[in-house]
Amino acid sequence: MLNAPIPLSSQAAAVLPLRRARWALALAAAALLGCAAAPQAQRSGSPAAVAAPAAVSAPAPAPRPPASVPGSFADNPIVYFVVTDRFANGNPANDGAYGRQREKDPAADVGTFHGGDLKGLTGKIREGWFKPLGVNAIWITAPYEQIHGWVVGGNKEFRHYAYHGYYALDFTVLDQAMGTPEELRELVDTAHANGIRILFDVVMNHPGYLDIQTAVDLNIPVLWPRALERATLQNYHRQIDYNNFEFKQWWGRPWVRAGLPGYLEGGRDDLTSQLAYLPDFRTDSPEPVTLPPFLKNKPGTRAVDLPNTTVRGYLVKWLTDWVREYGVDGFRVDTVKHVEPEAWTELKREATAALAEWKTKNPAKKIDDAPFWMTGEYWGHGPERGRLHAAGFDNMINFDFQERASQLVKDGASPDALFQQYATLQAGQPAQMLNYISSHDTKLFARDRLIEAGSALLLAPGGVQIYYGDETARPDGPVPGSDPQQSTRSDMNWASADATVLAHWRRLGGFRARHVALARGEHQKLADAPYAFARLDRASGDRVVVALGVAAGARVPVGQAFADGDTLRDAYSGRSLTVSAGHVTVDAAAPAVLLEAAP
């Protein structure tokens, strides 16, 4: 979503006090854990250099893996959101597609294509980047063809290209900067072979602007002479004849509201307004349409006329064809509040049928027989189940969590009230919310507080969205004054990954992936100091105990989760511990103790 953010509601809840000293202890212990790996990471600049974090002490060798009750994907989604263009460049030959150019000045380069692609993402799956984090799905930015050129970014501050996937031109073919059909198939197949689902970011609210380069490439005669060579950030719009009725050769009146000659104006409500002046798809119109003029003549398109089909019908067909052809497992849906719920119901129904068809044809390539999964971005939606779940969404992005977690970390407060609220809302059901601490549309969480934030996110009930680089402390990029969200989409910091943060997130992520109780279990607070809780999932029998900010020699209660004499494994340190008098005793200080049944 690219429209300007609105203030998030705090929905502040009463929290139990936890001394700031315990967070300081957690940070100090984490620093000790990561100090050995950090110099190597700085020397080599390779993610492999930080792949094996140092432990508190050498763990006893484990002949068998720890007990694991992961639940289904819908029960326990751990979704890694990556802006593909900013992650890994696997094929430099596709850089500069459609004549796109980078800028030498980093501040001016903030809105260009940087080279990341599908092949680079596939390489990182093969290298094993995602599995140690517990990731079971990767959400990628929309890879289909975007507008070719740039539009004015911010307050005439930078050239804004469609690197983020929200300025679609042709929904039926891949953008050349993302890669080839073979590379997309390889990405999905490789992900599936590693137990990871692929989710597409999709938009049905709007296509992209008509930029100058695209108008030239598609021969849409609405430009003044020499527009392409004359255009600057200052005079861009003076190169386009906005009174020209030849705009009909673009999407056309039956397809979009655009306020151009011959088009309908955008409305004033959520469903018909033009977000950021983008053309608004008329998905509410019951009238059949034919292909827009530019697509009839566009080289390489796979779009064809569909008899007696509405705008909504075309979009649903185009989007679900990716599912039917490649086995895409789910969608993250953009701008949900700006499209009528009936459209989402239709999209979910058709995508579910398309995935079932693909799995029937490709039984050796599927992960399992789970149905198509869909999460949505409805600005300001909280953790509660609502009408949109009934409209076809399995899950909704939770805008409540980021601000709540930020305040908890700032105050050094216990997360128990938040955990209890979310666990009550989940009530043993599949994950209805997708929690995050950073996003491309809001802000990055404070980079010096990612130990505490990682604990809050990866231990919270519901589903988890990891934004690329939260696990490595990826820094903000340049910050345009009028569009600060651009800074949240900086290049992945492979050469400077924070080994301490990465070690922490991997321990917690791997633990979460093994335990559905963390996502949907009954929450029981066990102690204030150190803060400890149990999660019990009665349907599966899964149970865990967690303590945060633990000092050396601390006694951690296990409540009803485990019995005296039980041998437990601390997934954070790798140590074995035995329950005695309802407690385990921890030898060394640690940011977390993660107790699970020993194998």
As annotated, the active-site residues are 334, 377
Q: How far apart are CA 48 and CA 445, in angstroms?
A: 25
What does the block give as tokens for 355? 């995935």
Interatomic CA distance for residues 216 and 294, integer angstroms: 12
Q: Residue 535: what residue type?
A: R
Q: What DSSP string runs through 39-97?
A: HHHHHH--GGGGSSPPPSSPPPP-SSPPP-B---TTTS-EEEEE-GGGT--S-GGGTTG
Beta bridge partners of 81: 139, 467
Q: How far apart are CA 500 and CA 54, in angstroms?
A: 9
Instruction: Give dist(CA 448, CA 475) in Å, integer.
Output: 10
Phi, psi at 541, each rounded to 5°: 85, 0
Query: CB within 8 A of 527, min separation 6: which ones?
Result: 547, 556, 557
Q: Which amino acid type is present at position 483?
A: D
Residue of 424, 415, 385, 399 whose CA lies nearest to 528: 415
Rounded distance, CA 351 to CA 320, Å?
A: 5
CB 264 within 8 A of CB 311: no
Q: Which of 217, 115, 111 is nearest to 176 (CA)?
A: 115
Specify the 3-state DSSP secondary structure of 407. helix
Note if the bond before 77 is cis, omega within 30 degrees: no
Helix (H) or strand (E) holding 152: strand 151-153
- In 3D space, the residue among 72, 180, 74, 176 whose CA is nearest the CA of residue 122 turns out to be 180
Whether 483 and 151 have beta carbons less than 8 Å apart is answered as: no
CA distances from 435 to 301, 375, 431, 442, 462 (A): 37, 11, 10, 13, 7
* Residue 493 token pair: 């910091």
3-state secondary structure 323-385: HHHHCCCEEEECCHHHCCHHHHHHHHHHHHHHHHHHHHHCCCCCCCCCCCEEEECCCCCCCCC
Distances in whole angstroms, Cα of residue 528 to Cα of each of 12, 419, 457, 531, 563: 20, 14, 19, 4, 21
Contact in structure between 333 and 204 (CB atoms under 8 Å): yes
- Tracing tokens 């600049």 back to the chain, one arrives at 45
Name the strand (E) or helix (H) holding 455.
helix 450-459
- Here the tokens at position 491 are 């290049």
